[in-house]
Chain A
Amino acid sequence: MMTAKTMEWKTHCLFCSLCCPVEIRQQPGAAGFACQPPGGLNGSGALCGRGIGLVDLLDHPHQIRGGFSQQGQSRTSLSRADAMQEFVRMTDEALQEGSLAILMDGNLSCEDLVAIHQWCESKNHAVSLGVYLPPTDFDLLDGFSGDSMPFSAEDLSSCDGILMIGNVFATHPVLARTLLDLKYSHPRNLFAVMDTYPGITSTFANSFLQVSPDGHQKALDGILALCQSTEASVSETFADSVGMDIIQAEKFFRVLRQSRRLGVFITAEATNNVDWRSVVSLAQRIASIQGGHLWPLLVYGNALGAYRISRNLHLLRLEQLLEQAGKKPFTAFVQVGCDVSVAYPDELLRPLLSNSTRQILFTSFQSRGCSQADLVIGFPTPVQYGGTLINGAGAEKQLTTIHAALLPGAKEWFLNLCGKTWAPKWQDYWRNSPAGLTQPERLSIPARNTAEAKATVQLQAVASPVHFEDGTFSHAERWTVHMEGQGQLTLSPALARQAGVRNGESLVAVLDGKEIPLVCREDARLKENQALASMHNIAVRRFLPWELTGGRLHCSAPMIQLKAQREKGDI
């Protein structure tokens, strides 16, 4: 039995679009424990490691609770009230001198996002307001025309075939039990998996189709044509075009064709395709021909809510802020709840981060951006957010503010500053699906040339159920450090031999003069020219060649060079 002193909170996890309900229990002076209440999507009450790790954010000793201002090397601590005064002074000055940009994290609650917009409106539209979502979330939602597909375990149980595009079990582990129950409930229920590398999901596939990065469209085009035709077999031309033998291609197509109701799940990893919008669009057509549904799986818990708000209120994206800043620098750049400097290389962010006269950061923890900011203001952690989020299935979920007395959220802060009170009609901004969205044109992004003449290895940054280092939500007691203390590069044993390293040895990945040290991990399932690194590793994310083309941020899988790293004294 729980003792009387045990504190309990019920909230929702916002580390992916499934938004699992979470129950957090904590005894005074002891570590907390998070689990999912019985029932819900998973049925058993299980949570993935990310959800369990939410307890790291309770009473975190390193949380920034006040604020500080910086001038050169000197740093002055500020109380909440002083931080607010300083914020008002800096933003007023910035607006007198020119224009101000605000980027708010899409994982804030819907109320927070709308409140920041209200503050911007009170400044006579002199503020460029943007919402930050991972580019893949924007792509999936654009491709899905900004709507959602209600999802429940009952919907899934009526499917007899599942197509998973991407490594679904790594990005959204909580879906695994429902999907595996379906698979093992009847031998006719089959899994088809399409991905650019043989991840954990592929090991459960009845048929696995490995496509090259950016090769999804070609394969899905072929499958769509076959589904639409009366032809019951795969041609050699199609098999050749997707780079697999005809027997494998036949098997993959048969799994899809045999199903009376096909459930399609799609999860996007940035380097695996530069145009996820057209992949979603094609997958959706295949699902509807096969009498099923498509469920896009998003990175951010409130991705759909933030997307609806951004479309309904005509807000900008990071890409558009970067383009505006490139033409005319902002006099101040404010980030609320996000720090883009941990996700993208400096050269890409220079127009916003280096050219803006003032930098203001609302953040929970010391992050990379704090060292460059003129004003840092303490902000709630995700377990302290309050308000509504819209999960990937379009359902409203309520976040509970834990330890509310500590810090006001963005809603309280910005409504207080502009002297407004909450209006219930503002809920329409996230309840209404945005109108006027059309199926996107297929993009054609030119292939990238790498400067490394000897580069023969293609690097893919992939999702992992284990987040690690301080790029994630936990900055002190990092359980994941025990799993992967140092960034790893997974490669085939043959490639490791070629690079002169063995399992556990250090090597350096080189791209356009940039180097990143990683530890070799061999995996015999990978192709010889393929290397995988975790997308959650800050160094890897900043190493990737992100580009801004046609108003979109994208990153194709780069060709890199590998070098063995020997320390002094090594033979």
Chain B
Amino acid sequence: MEIRQRVWIDMDRCIECKSCFAACYYGHHRQPIVNYASIGSVTLPIICRQCDEPTCVEACPYEALYRNDQGIVKRSLALCRGCGSCVPACPFGTIPSEMYRHQVPKCDLCEDWVLQELPPRCVSSCPGGALQFLEITENELEQQGQFAVSGRTLSRHLWKRR
């Protein structure tokens, strides 16, 4: 069964509390996976989009990265050599450059939770409700009065925040 939902970020709700980082860190054997990026004065979490055609998979010389039957881009712990080729290959900067325990941490969309029909840890821990686990199109978003600002980032306004 393919998982169609993805993590979306509502810019109008992110309070930069880093709870998503903490939840992900403890849920993934204390590996720092969530990245952050500043856009103007706003700092938002950057979370893997689980692309349909992932460039990180293409870039991996050891075939350690692959897209599984659930549509999740995963990393094989046995095959990864920690070469870091996937880091610059990701156009969204979601793979941290920090080499940790000789392997590059990679978001697995909390497959263990999602298969139990729970949202990923980062989403369930978000105090502001900024992270949402949705399967939604841009048209459906507009009907809700929201816009996809860029990729999977939502806002109620096109040009300003909040």
Contacts and interface: CB of A to CB of B under 8 A. Distances in A.
Q: Do A and B come from one complex?
A: yes
Interface string B59-101: 0000000000000000000000000000000000000001000
Contacts of A204: 15, 162
Contact of A49 (B12, B17, B121, B162): B17
B98 to A, nearest CB: 8
Contacts of B27: 33
A33 B26 contact: yes
Interface stretch (A170-178, A254-262, A357-365, A409-417): A170-178
Contacts of B17: 48-49, 169-170, 173, 176, 465-466
Contact of B124 (A44, A170, A175, A184): A44
Given A49-B18, A180-B13, A525-B41, A1 B30 contact: no
A203 B161 contact: yes
A46 B22 contact: no
B30 to A, nearest CB: 5
Contacts of B32: 479, 482
Interface in A201-241: 201, 203-204
Contact of A180 (B98, B125, B129): B129
Contact of B18 (A169, A181, A201, A466): A466
Nearest to B20: A49
Contacts, number: 105
B15 A200 contact: yes
Given A180-B129, A203-B161, A524-B41, A31 B29 contact: yes
Contact of B21 (A46, A55, A482): A482
B121 to A, nearest CB: 8
Contact of A52 (B12, B16, B26, B161): B26
Q: Report which residue of B42, B128, B156, B162 has the largest number of chain A beta carbons within 10 angstroms of its beta carbon.
A: B128
A49 B129 contact: no
Interface residues of B, number: 30
Given A1-B116, A173-B19, A48 B127 contact: yes
A184 B129 CA distance: 12
Interface in B80-138: 98, 116, 121, 124-129
B127 A177 contact: yes
B149 interface: no
Contact of A169 (B15, B26, B156): B15
Q: Report which residue of A34, A52, A465 has the largest number of chain B beta carbons within 10 angstroms of its beta carbon.
A: A52
Interface in A1-60: 1, 31-35, 42, 44-49, 52-53, 55
Query: What's the dominant secondary structure at chain B's contact region?
Result: loop
Nearest to A54: B26
A523 interface: yes
Contacts of B125: 35, 46-47, 52
A265 to B, nearest CB: 14
A34 B30 CA distance: 13
Contacts of B127: 42, 46-48, 173-177
A566 B46 CA distance: 33
Contacts of B41: 203, 523-525
Contacts of B162: 203-204
B128 A180 contact: yes
Nearest to A36: B125
A173 B21 contact: no
Nearest to A176: B128
A423 interface: no
Nearest to A479: B25
A479 B19 contact: no
B128 to A, nearest CB: 4
Interface in B1-54: 12-13, 15-19, 21-23, 25-27, 29-30, 32, 41-42
A483 B126 CA distance: 17
Nearest to B162: A204
A35 B118 CA distance: 13
A477 interface: yes
Interface in A474-501: 477, 479, 482-483
A173 B18 CA distance: 10
Contacts of B22: 49, 52-53, 479
A34 B25 CA distance: 12
A170 B121 CA distance: 21
A32 B15 CA distance: 25
A52 B30 CA distance: 12
A45 B124 contact: yes
Q: Report which residue of A42, A174, A482 has the largest number of chain B beta carbons within 10 angstroms of its beta carbon.
A: A482
Contact of A176 (B15, B21, B121, B161): B15
Contacts of A52: 19, 22-23, 26, 125
Given A173-B128, A177-B128, A203-B162, A49 B19 contact: yes
A46 B124 contact: yes
B26 A31 contact: yes
A34 B12 contact: no
B20 to A, nearest CB: 9
A35 B124 contact: yes
A48 B127 CA distance: 6
B161 A479 contact: no
26 contacts: A33-B26, A33-B27, A33-B121, A35-B23, A46-B125, A47-B19, A47-B23, A48-B127, A49-B21, A55-B26, A169-B15, A173-B17, A173-B127, A176-B13, A176-B127, A180-B128, A180-B129, A203-B162, A465-B15, A465-B16, A465-B17, A479-B21, A479-B32, A482-B21, A482-B32, A483-B18
Given A176-B17, A482-B25, 10 more contacts: A33-B121, A35-B124, A55-B26, A177-B127, A180-B128, A466-B18, A479-B25, A482-B21, A483-B21, A523-B41
Task: Enumerate the 9 nearest inter-chain pairs by beta-carbon distance, A residue then B residue, closest first.
Answer: A49-B22, A176-B128, A465-B17, A173-B17, A52-B22, A169-B15, A482-B32, A479-B25, A46-B127
